[in-house]
Structure 1
Amino acid sequence: MLSTKLTALIVDDEHSGRSSLKILLNKNCFYLFEKIVTASSLNEAIKIVADESFNVCFLDIQLNNQSGFDLVPYLSSKTKIIFVTAYSEYAIKAIKDKAFDYLLKPLNPVEFKICMSRFEKEVLGNGAVKKYLQIKEQGATMPIILDEIEFLEAEGAYSKIHLVKKKEYVTAKTLKSMTDMLGNDFIRIHKSYTVNKMMIQSYKKDSLTTIHNTCLPVSRVGAKELSLHF
């Protein structure tokens, strides 16, 4: 996938907090970020932001005996601040400090995905940056625009990519790995199918129709996934 060259800063005094958030970002949003930087203290974070600005800062509030709120004046006005904390009582102050979002620990993966989907749309805008999937076919690298993918179909250890232009490509990756790679705009609706959210015309508990009138099956797990997005 071609990088959109965004940068993220994670500020948390606990190693587990930094590592778990970095894992979530790498799993769900790896195509968004060129660099993810971590800081374990307020002072370390202040030094980092003095030399570099970030698109987003994931900020813990209680940093040993200091407050994450004290970092806010040092951040660029363009940095989206997402507070990540175990304490709900700071939500009002976070809103006053123009927080983009406020996530409670332990992080809920679904809430995290929704937050990052909003972030992506707000930062990149509609159509501001074209995102690509790169696959290998017969030794050549094929860049595929994500917006042109209608759905993906499992074929054993391979995946077939169906484009809106009725072209098809087969890649030597499982549907699970492809779904993880593609991010929040794609939904696994069945063990054999992952669909582009923008290509959904309608769906029922056991089937889905794309805007090009392709009918796909929906499993019970897939129906739950759809309900989280719509």
Structure 2
Amino acid sequence: MPPTLRCIAIDDEPIALDIIKAHAGKVPFLDLKRTFVNAFEALTFLKTETVDLIFLDINMPDLTGLDFAQVVGNKSLVVFTTAYPEYALQGFELSALDYLLKPIAFGRFMQAANKAYERLSGDSKKSPFVFVKDGYDWVRINLDELQYVESEGNYLTFQETGKKALTRMTITEAIDLLPADQFMRVHKSYIVALDRIEKIERHQLTIGKAQIPLAGSYRDELLERVK
């Protein structure tokens, strides 16, 4: 189990906070201490409590998320959450860790959480990874060992070199979770690691001992990306 990151969430919309609370409850290394609909109450909380990570809405009354982040400074990592993509540039100018656009998919949320873990644990120089739930356990998937992801209904198999993990997740969530520069969807049921492909044929590709179907709609993009 990875170290726990203390976090809070701030949003003037209770429904948005419920989504973050549900997502955080699925991540083994996030400890969501409190949620706030009032940014000033959150500032009061931070006067006596230390948190590692803040999920922060931008468009809030009285005190915007951008203003809040300036007040907090670099005491905590900030992940902005908003329905307005035009705020992204301002968010990153404030050294935000990430920027999540509502409605927030779990896969994208998990990606931001993993980024926070890497930053705070000093693990950024090691192989990137994600955590997925396998039964009652949380399993670390090392991305440099991940060969492909196979979908069957609402379950996915993450196939690493020599081991695999089965998790309840959609393939769309997996696409959001995995780095787009390393992985690509090649079929309605498969995502592959581009640097693990050994052979590309007309309707399939080979990774290790696995023969993976290649849909025609993805073939041209795949050939372009592996050049």
Q: Which of the five TM-score ranges fits, normalised by the shorter chain?
A: 0.5 to 0.7
Q: Whose relative contact order is higher, 1 or 2, with alpha carbons under 8 Å and at least 6 apart?
A: 1
In structure 1, the residue matched to 2:77 is 80
Question: Unpaired segments of 5 or more residues in structure 1?
Answer: none
If the length of structure 1 is used for normalisation, what is the TM-score?
0.59
Q: In the TM superposition, what is the alpha-carbon distance from 1:10 to its structure 2 partner?
A: 1.4
Deviation at 1:12, TM superposition (A): 0.4
Per the TM alignment, residue 39 of structure 1 is displaced from its structure 2 partner at its CA by 1.3
Contact 2:151 2:157 in 1 (8 A): yes
Point out where structure 2 has 5 or more consecutive residues left out of the alignment.
Answer: none
The 3 A distance-change label for structure 1 pair 103 and 178 is: closer
TM-score by length of 2: 0.60
Asked if 2 retains the 8 angstrom alpha-carbon contact of 1:3 and 1:34, the reply is: no
Query: 1:60/1:149 Cα in 2 relative to 1: closer, same or farther (>3 Å)?
Result: closer
Give how far 1:58 is off.
2.0
Query: For residues 26-83 of structure 1, what are the alpha-carbon distances to aligned partners after superposition, in whole Å with 9 as ceiling and x for unaligned?
Result: 56xx244243632111122112222333333221233333323342245362533232
Pick which of 55-64 and 121-130 moved more: 121-130
> Residue 216 of structure 1 corresponds to which residue in structure 2?
212
Structure 2 residue 51 is the aligned partner of structure 1 residue 54: yes
Which residue is 1:184 aligned to? 177
Aligned equivalent of 1:16: 15
CA contact (8 A) 1:179 1:194 kept: no
Percentage identity across aligned positions?
Answer: 23
Kindly provide the CA deviation profile for residues 156-197 of structure 1, in whole angstroms up to 9, marking residues without a partner as x. 9998775423x5x786x66x479969x824877657656567
Root-mean-square deviation (CA, aligned residues, Å) is 5.1
SS at structure 2 position matched to 1:62 = coil
Deviations 1:89-108 (A, max 9, x none): 6555434433334444x336
Residue 38 (structure 2) aligned to one of 41, 60, 78: 41
Report deviation, 1:22. Answer: 3.3
Q: CA deviation at 1:109?
A: 3.7
Aligned partners of 2:77 and 2:97 also within 8 Å = yes
